Amino acid sequence: MKHDRPKLRDVARLAGVSTATVSRALSNPDMVSEDTRAAVHAAIEATGYRMNLAARNLRHQRTGGIVALVPNLANPFFSQILSGIASVLGPAGYNLLVADTTGAGPDLLLDYAEPSRADGLIVLDGNFPMVALEPGRVPVVQACEWVPGLPAARVKIDNRAAAGVAVGHLLDLGHRRIGHVTGPANNVLTEARIGGVRDRLAEAGLPFPDEAVYQGDFSLDSGRQAAGQWLTQPRDSRPTAVFLASDAMACGFIGEVQRHGLSVPGDVSVVGFDDIELIAHIAPPLTTIHQPRAEIGRLAAERLLAQLRGESQADGDTILPVELLIRASTAPLAI
């Protein structure tokens, strides 16, 4: 008998008012008189009514959801960003939808920018198809990575400067041959960070030869492979310090170096990037660039919400500060 969920109409009938009144009692309480409001609430209580969000959203032309497009969900780097995003979206009454962009064609990705799918988009992937901001598509905020031509808000760090700081630290320690393990090709972060390295070395009047550049892809394994290359290079010409574009790679690098009987920082100083959870606790604790991930997520979400409220301009960068955390994986150049 009570198999069907009660609808607004049922509540209205029981309370002896129209559906319009019930609707108003719920979403615009001040528009209905004290008495009716009470009657309506009693009826809601009695029927166990719960509103159908799909219907409301259809009428309101909104979905109540924000999509976060992540390059690789399995990468723990993103979990804290998502956590930051969720911490803002939840209280604001929005759902967080998460989608992994790996293996998704441009068509599928653009689908997420449909107003009937989500009210907004937080893009963590620098390879998002640029058409995203066509009229009739939802507002977009980019976080961490960004799409070069895309006129959407960005929340990020200054990767170029951060890389410069990392290299500067190694220079301060007396290192003169400094290597760099890059991120994947065609990635804005890769470009920015390698640019920062190049700039800083040039500023110091030091060379940056091709042999000092190791192609990586942010993954632990690519860091190990970079170490493999480094190990084969002649001891007296290879880098005495290496800056890697991710902590995961730094981990792999250190592991491989140690496996070959060499020591960090004894034989090579290592600086990572990101400051992911565990790397403060490995041996040796990793010197790295701290990136405020949760904060990036929070701010990205907040900027998006501001746009949805029409409060904020749709572009402009928010640059968050990074911090060089000096731990035990770097040491003065041994003479």
Partner DNA sequence: ATCCTTGTTGCAACCGATTACATTATGCCT
Partner DNA sequence: AGGCATAATGTAATCGGTTGCAACAAGGAT
Site residues for DNA per CB under 7 A: 5, 7-9, 16-21, 23-24, 26-28, 30-36, 49, 51-52, 54-56, 58-61
Task: For the segment 5-44, give every residue that binds a second copy (CB under 8 A).
Answer: 5
Q: Which does 115 bind (CB under 5 to 8 A by kind): DNA, a second copy, none?
A: a second copy
The span from the CA of 178 to the CA of 242, in Å, is: 6
Cβ burial, residue 334 (10 Å; 0-12/13-18/19+): exposed
* CA proximity to 158, closest of 297, 323, 321: 321
**CB 56, min distance to a second copy, A:** 9
Q: How many other β-carbons are positioned within 10 Å of the β-carbon of residue 186?
A: 9
How are beta strands 287-290 and 323-325 bridged, if at all? antiparallel
Pick from 248, 304, 322, 331 the residue near a second copy by CB under 8 A: 248
The span from the CA of 100 to the CA of 179, in Å, is: 32
Q: Which stretch binds a second copy (CB under 8 A): 37-45, 73-81, 167-175, 176-184?
A: 73-81
Consecutive H or E run containing 157: strand 153-157
Dihedral sign, CA of 66, 295, 106, 247?
negative
Pick from 19, 36, 47, 57 the residue near a second copy by CB under 8 A: 57
Q: Which does 74 bind (CB under 5 to 8 A by kind): a second copy, DNA, none?
A: a second copy
Q: Which stretch binds a second copy (CB under 8 A): 16-24, 68-76, 160-168, 175-183?
A: 68-76
Is 283 near a second copy (CB under 8 A)?
yes
**CB 152, min distance to a second copy, A:** 20
Q: Which does 36 bind (CB under 5 to 8 A by kind): a second copy, DNA, none?
A: DNA
* CA proximity to 183, closest of 272, 254, 281: 272
* Residue with tokens 């041994």, as numbered in its chain: 334
Is 277 near a second copy (CB under 8 A)?
yes
**CB 298, min distance to DNA, A:** 28
Q: Which does 260 bind (CB under 5 to 8 A by kind): DNA, a second copy, none?
A: none
DSSP-H helix ranges across 90-148: 106-111
Q: Which residues of 187-225 are buried (b: 16+ CB within 10 A; e: fewer)?
A: bbbbbbbbebbbbbbeeeebebeeebbbebbbbbebbbb
Q: Which does 97 bind (CB under 5 to 8 A by kind): a second copy, DNA, none?
A: a second copy
For binding to a second copy (CB under 8 A), which residues are involved? 3, 5, 50-55, 57-58, 63, 65, 72-76, 78-80, 82-83, 86-87, 90, 95-100, 104, 114-117, 135-136, 220, 248, 251-252, 254-255, 258, 276-283, 285, 294
